[in-house]
């Protein structure tokens, strides 16, 4: 792919000449908790991680959604069924869309019927930071963490009381409003924020797709979030958080009817963190997440409801040992699902987990083990072992092995005329090695991995009965190489990355659908007095939208509906009118590239968005 070569060249040139101007940043290391369930420096984590802070989220622009922001990160690709607000899938490290867990403030979020999260319905305005952990993480988070975990933290409060707000508008009838109040005082911290987004969009489908309707498919989303924390005494804290979103999205399904769905996310949790001794901290957390979907179509004008409710309880203990740190926890997860007219059921999972991390001079170790007892299919034990070695100052080697699994969804198990109650969990075994280099505020990471998946669930149509049935009959091997880095060069901030991926069905040799063999990104920006401006490039190679299997000979498969590769050019600018007021602008897909992330579905053409932000410093 032509985009990959200039990206590699830019990365090599930029990182060959690091500037010492970022040295101060190295003195204030970024912390991450998702990689081990304990706070640690991101540059000491043994997993392949990325942290996206609030200022980076704001630069993404209001016309960008969460899925687009994630797709510009190393090791992640995405597919969308028609643009903003339409069903989207995240493919991390070549895994399926149901191989990545989404956490919001520590709570598992998503649908237990489809096995995926509603990524498209979480507004960037409500997000404080995002932590991305690539690789198998079932030893930390249980089922479905086959390819990784993405954790979102909602907006928090600190410092003097303040009010902030944003308003903007752009192409395709896009509008956004958000406002919040936050602060802290005498042990109390608080934040409350509301937001509204809307876009008239364009037709979700292309004329070649079944059910095409030429009308514009509107999307709107209303959201509210809040966080509250109170330090009762030194080492003792109480807290609560919530996020609620409601969306309506129109889509193409029938040429004579305006199909639409109403979606809702409800996530809340309360916690108590207590230092029981100088070396021992206990955290109790209880919460619930609800993923609700109600669809309206010509065949069901009264609507039909699909809902997943997940009640979650966690009791975690962190103990500082003479050598390293111990983590021990108990979890209980109860999932209840309703698929109107199909089934109504539930399952419970009881889990025990242990972890140990330690630094021994130039050596770093991390060990994790977890046992999940699922009321549907029994027990599963997973593990993780990671090792790091500081070869030279600024140069570190990492290596790890880990196992993971995915639980069959309720649709795969019980949907009338389709489900197979005899399904077993999918299993994964991953090996990876990496190199990380830091110098004067510049950072480069190189990671190679191989993930083998057995008992992979694939749906086949029985040629005799005509019935489609999901079965544990496939194996997949996903291997890849990821190179990413950041630096400052001649006053410019530079970020670049490139991924090479080979994701295949081992039995037939067919490529797993919607996963490109090459992808990359490049971003350069500069601030001069009150102005900040930048350009982004994103490239994705060709791939296939689907794979058809020969039901008489399962070793035969046909890749179909090829999706062409594409390159996108975006630009953004910000002007600080005063210390607290700023004007922002973003132009996406400047070259008006026509491309697909899912066969037959439209994507936005060239578009612009402008806004004004009030954010007291």
pLDDT tens for 355-377 read 999 999 999 999 999 999 999 88
3-state secondary structure of 439: strand
CB pairs under 8 A, 24+ apart, for 460-469? 460/549, 460/551, 460/554, 461/551, 462/551, 463/551, 463/552, 467/417, 467/418, 468/418, 469/418, 469/420
Report which of 517, 516, 511, 502 is spatially closest to residue 558, judged by C-alpha positions: 511
pLDDT above 60: residue 256: yes
* pLDDT reported for residue 341: 83
CA distances from 266 to 161, 260, 310 (A): 27, 20, 10
Q: Specify the length of the chain in residues.
A: 617
List CB contacts of 254: < 8 A, sequence separation 6 or more.
211, 213, 297, 298
Instruction: Kindly list the structural domains of the chain, giving each domain's residue range(s) and its CATH number in brackets, ordered by start.
Output: 4-614 (2.40.170.20)
> How many CB atoms are located within 10 Å of the residue 137 CB?
29
Q: What is the pLDDT of residues 202-234, one digit of tens each?
A: 899 999 998 888 889 999 999 999 999 999 999
Helix (H, G, I), strand (E, B) or coil at 467: coil
Q: Give the pLDDT score at 16.
A: 42
Q: Is the pLDDT of residue 21 over 80?
A: no
The whole-number pLDDT of residue 552 equals 63
Q: Element (H or E) spanning 56, and its range? A: helix 54-60
Q: Are the beta carbons of 90 and 70 closer than 8 angstroms?
A: yes
Most confident option among 10-19, 48-57, 249-258, 301-310: 48-57
Tens of pLDDT, residue by residue over 40-84, are 998 899 999 999 999 889 887 666 789 999 999 999 999 999 888
Mean pLDDT of 506-533: 94
What does the pLDDT read at residue 483? 97
Buried b or exposed e, range 433-467, using 16+ CB within 10 angstroms: ebebbbbbbbbbbebbbebebbbbbbebeeeeeee
Q: How far apart are CA 191 and CA 157, in angstroms?
A: 5
pLDDT level of residue 560 (50, 70, 90 thresholds): confident
Q: Is 157 exposed, middle or buried (0-12, 13-18, 19+ CB in 10 A)?
A: buried
Alpha-carbon distances of 432 from 206, 437, 509, rounded to whole Å = 40, 17, 22
How confident is the model at residue 27, as a pLDDT?
Answer: 54
DSSP symbol at 511 = B
Tell me how far the alpha carbon of residue 593 is from its chain's centroid. Answer: 25
Encoded tokens for 431: 């090996």
Pick 557 or 341 by higher pLDDT. 341
- 18 band by pLDDT with thresholds 50, 70 and 90: very low
Q: What is the pTM of this model?
A: 0.93
On average, the pLDDT of the chain sits at 91
pLDDT digits (tens, 9 = 90+) for 132-143: 999 999 999 999
End-to-end CA distance of the chain: 44
Asked if the model's pLDDT at residue 609 lies above 90, the reply is yes
> Tokens 């993404």 appear where?
60
Tell me the per-residue pLDDT of 114-137, one tens digit each, with 9 for 90 and over.
999 999 999 999 999 999 999 999
pLDDT at residue 257 in the model: 76
In Å, how far from its chain's centre is CA 505? 24
């Amino acid at each position: 792919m032509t985009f990959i070569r200039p990206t590699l060249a830019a990365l090599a040139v930029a990182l060959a000449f690091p500037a010492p101007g970022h040295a101060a940043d190295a003195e204030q290391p970024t912390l991450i908790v998702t990689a081990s369930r304990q706070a640690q420096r991101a540059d000491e984590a043994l997993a392949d991680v990325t942290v996206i802070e609030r200022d980076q989220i704001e630069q993404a622009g209001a016309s960008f959604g969460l899925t687009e922001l994630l797709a510009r990160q190393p090791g992640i690709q995405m597919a969308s069924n028609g643009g903003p607000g339409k069903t989207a899938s995240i493919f991390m490290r070549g895994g399926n869309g149901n191989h990545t867990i989404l956490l919001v403030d520590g709570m598992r979020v998503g649908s237990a019927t489809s096995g995926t999260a509603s990524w498209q319905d979480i507004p960037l305005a409500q997000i404080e930071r995002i932590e991305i952990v690539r690789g198998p993480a079932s030893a930390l988070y249980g089922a479905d963490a086959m390819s990784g975990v993405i954790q979102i933290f909602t907006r928090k409060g600190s410092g003097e009381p303040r009010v902030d707000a944003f308003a903007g508008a752009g192409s395709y009838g896009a509008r956004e409003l958000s406002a919040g109040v936050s602060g802290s005082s005498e042990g109390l911290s608080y934040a409350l924020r509301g937001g509204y987004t809307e876009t008239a969009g364009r037709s979700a489908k292309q004329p070649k797709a079944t059910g095409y309707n030429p009308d514009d498919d509107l999307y709107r989303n209303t959201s509210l979030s809040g966080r509250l924390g109170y330090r009762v005494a030194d080492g003792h804290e109480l807290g609560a958080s919530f996020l609620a979103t409601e969306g309506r999205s129109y889509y193409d399904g029938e040429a004579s009817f305006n199909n639409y769905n109403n979606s809702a996310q409800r996530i809340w949790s309360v916690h108590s963190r207590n230092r029981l001794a100088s070396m021992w901290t206990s955290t109790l957390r209880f919460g619930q997440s609800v993923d609700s979907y109600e669809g309206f179509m010509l065949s069901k004008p009264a609507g039909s409801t699909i809902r997943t409710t997940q009640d979650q309880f966690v009791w975690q203990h962190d103990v500082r040992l003479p050598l390293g740190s111990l983590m021990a926890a108990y979890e209980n997860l109860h999932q209840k699902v309703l698929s109107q007219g199909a089934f109504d059921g539930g399952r419970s999972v009881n889990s025990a987990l242990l972890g140990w991390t330690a630094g021994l001079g130039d050596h770093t170790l991390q060990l994790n083990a977890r046992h999940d007892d699922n009321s549907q299919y029994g027990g599963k034990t997973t593990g993780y072992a990671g090792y790091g070695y500081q070869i030279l100052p600024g140069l570190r080697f990492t290596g790890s092995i880990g196992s993971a699994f995915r639980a069959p969804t309720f649709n795969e198990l019980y949907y009338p005329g389709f489900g197979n109650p005899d399904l077993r969990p999918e299993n994964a075994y991953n090996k990876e090695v990496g190199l990380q280099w830091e110098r004067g505020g510049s950072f480069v990471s190189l990671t190679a991995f191989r993930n083998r998946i057995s008992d992979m669930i694939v749906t086949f149509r029985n040629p005799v009965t005509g019935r489609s049935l999901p079965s544990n009959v496939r194996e997949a091997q996903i291997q890849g190489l990821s190179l990413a880095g950041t630096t400052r060069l001649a006053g410019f901030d530079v970020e670049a990355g490139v991924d090479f991926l080979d994701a295949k069905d081992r039995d037939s040799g067919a490529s797993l659908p919607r996963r490109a063999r090459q992808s990359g990104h490049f971003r350069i920006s500069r601030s001069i007095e009150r102005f900040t401006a930048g350009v982004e490039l994103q490239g994705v190679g060709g791939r296939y939208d689907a794979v058809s299997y020969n039901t008489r000979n399962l070793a035969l498969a046909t890749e179909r509906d090829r999706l062409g590769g594409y390159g996108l050019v975006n630009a953004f600018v910000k002007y600080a009118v005063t210390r607290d007021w700023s004007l922002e602008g973003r132009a996406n897909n400047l070259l008006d590239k026509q491309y697909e992330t899912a066969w037959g579905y439209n994507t936005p053409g060239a578009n612009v968005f402008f806004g004004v932000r009030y954010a007291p410093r």
